[in-house]
């Protein structure tokens, strides 16, 4: 009964992974049937490349930044959506849409919203006389704004998922606990921060770990919004690997860049298993 699972892992996980390791130490190129072992040459070369350093920095900025935005926003949403009110079911459903829609669709939507000419945000700002016509910022065309835009689109996409997890976590806390805190004299903030937040920590860490993986390994948002530009300023590790390895035909460099993701992902996988284990124990 184990055979299909083993086969699946060997074929689709272990195979490509070993192939990537193999390529990373070679000079494999698309269209070239010759392969030579080149040792650490690919790693030396990418470490010296400014694009790689920017990609590493961006990967961390996007991942950490979006997680901060996501946890704050989804905590607020979870509190708001916990209380019963008319239309709550509908609102919860609408909330989930960014998560269930394909990333590519959402990202294309945002590409229009942030477009240099047709941006609806710019249009509103102009209509409010905050900017002159055609004077609004180029959301995806200026490095800092482009970074902020990508970060916010990542957050937009993850907020529903995180909200659902946090809502489940809040619902799992017995109602007695916040009531006891109210009787004990605690107000809203004290109850939230000293009682509920610590009790939610395990479930919040689940949401954060998932969020990290989804953001850190994602290239769709960057690829569609900015294609890594302007001047590689929004490039992340997966998109750089794709740009160099597939589009630029340098398979070896792409493989080497992909492999640099492994140590961090191993650490996160370990943390996730630990959290899951702790959740089982208690």
Number of residues that bind other proteins (CB under 8 A): 19
* Tokens, residue 264: 């961090």
Minimum separation from the CB atom of position 249 to other proteins (A): 55
Minimum separation from the CB atom of position 204 to other proteins (A): 13
Minimum separation from the CB atom of position 281 to other proteins (A): 11
Nearest Cα neighbor of 65 from 142, 156, 194 is 156
Task: List binders of other proteins among 160-199 (CB under 8 A).
Answer: 174, 176-177, 179-187, 190, 194-195, 198-199
Asked if 259 and 24 touch (Cβ cutoff 8 Å), the reply is yes
Residue 226 CA to residue 141 CA, distance in Å, equals 8
- Give 135 or 198: the residue with its C-beta nearer to other proteins: 198
Residue in the structure block whose two tokens are 């072992």: 37
Minimum separation from the CB atom of position 78 to other proteins (A): 19
Minimum separation from the CB atom of position 190 to other proteins (A): 6
- Give 133 or 187: the residue with its C-beta nearer to other proteins: 187
Task: List binders of other proteins among 193-232 (CB under 8 A).
Answer: 194-195, 198-199, 201
Nearest Cα neighbor of 213 from 163, 272, 148 is 272
- Give 180 or 265: the residue with its C-beta nearer to other proteins: 180
- Give 24 or 181: the residue with its C-beta nearer to other proteins: 181
Name every residue whose Cβ is closer than 8 Å to that of residue 151 and which is 6 or more positions away in sequence.
61, 62, 65, 66, 69
Minimum separation from the CB atom of position 118 to other proteins (A): 50
Regarding 237 and contact with other proteins (CB under 8 A), the answer is no
Minimum separation from the CB atom of position 199 to other proteins (A): 6
Residue 276 CA to residue 280 CA, distance in Å, equals 6
Binding mask 116-155 for other proteins (x = CB under 8 A): ----------------------------------------
* Tokens, residue 5: 């699972």
CA distances from 146 to 99, 231, 237 (A): 22, 11, 16
Residue 143 CA to residue 20 CA, distance in Å, equals 31
- Give 125 or 199: the residue with its C-beta nearer to other proteins: 199
User: How open is the CA angle 13-15-19, to the nearest 5 degrees?
Assistant: 120
Q: What is the DSSP string of 53-110?
A: HHHHHHHHHHHHHHHHHHHHHHHHHHHHHHS--TTHHHHHHHHHHHHHS-HHHHHHHH
Footprint on this chain of other proteins (rule: CB under 8 A): 174, 176-177, 179-187, 190, 194-195, 198-199, 201, 282
């Amino acid at each position: 009964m184990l055979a299909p699972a083993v086969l699946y892992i060997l074929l689709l996980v272990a195979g490509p992974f070993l192939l990537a390791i193999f390529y990373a130490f070679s000079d494999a190129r698309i269209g070239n049937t010759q392969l030579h072992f080149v040792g650490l040459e690919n790693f030396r070369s990418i470490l010296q490349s400014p694009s790689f350093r920017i990609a590493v920095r961006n990967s961390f900025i996007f991942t950490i930044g979006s997680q901060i935005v996501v946890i704050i926003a989804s905590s607020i949403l979870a509190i708001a959506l916990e209380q019963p009110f008319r239309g709550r079911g509908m609102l919860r459903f609408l909330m989930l849409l960014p998560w269930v829609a394909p990333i590519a669709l959402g990202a294309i939507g945002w590409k229009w919203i942030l477009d240099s000419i047709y941006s609806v945000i710019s249009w509103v700002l102009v209509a409010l006389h905050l900017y002159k016509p055609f004077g609004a910022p180029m959301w995806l065309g200026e490095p800092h704004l482009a970074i902020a835009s990508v970060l916010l689109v990542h957050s937009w996409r993850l907020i529903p998922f995180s909200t659902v997890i946090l809502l489940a976590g809040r619902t799992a806390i017995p109602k007695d606990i916040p009531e006891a805190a109210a009787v004990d004299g605690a107000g809203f903030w004290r109850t939230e921060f000293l009682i509920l937040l610590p009790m939610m920590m395990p479930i919040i860490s689940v949401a954060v770990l998932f969020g990290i993986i989804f953001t850190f390994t994602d290239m769709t948002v960057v690829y569609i919004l900015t294609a890594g530009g302007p001047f590689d300023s929004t490039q992340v590790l997966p998109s750089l690997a794709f740009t160099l390895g597939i589009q630029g035909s340098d398979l070896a460099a792409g493989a080497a860049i992909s492999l640099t993701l492994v140590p961090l992902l191993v650490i996160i996988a370990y943390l996730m298993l630990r959290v899951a284990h702790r959740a089982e124990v208690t």
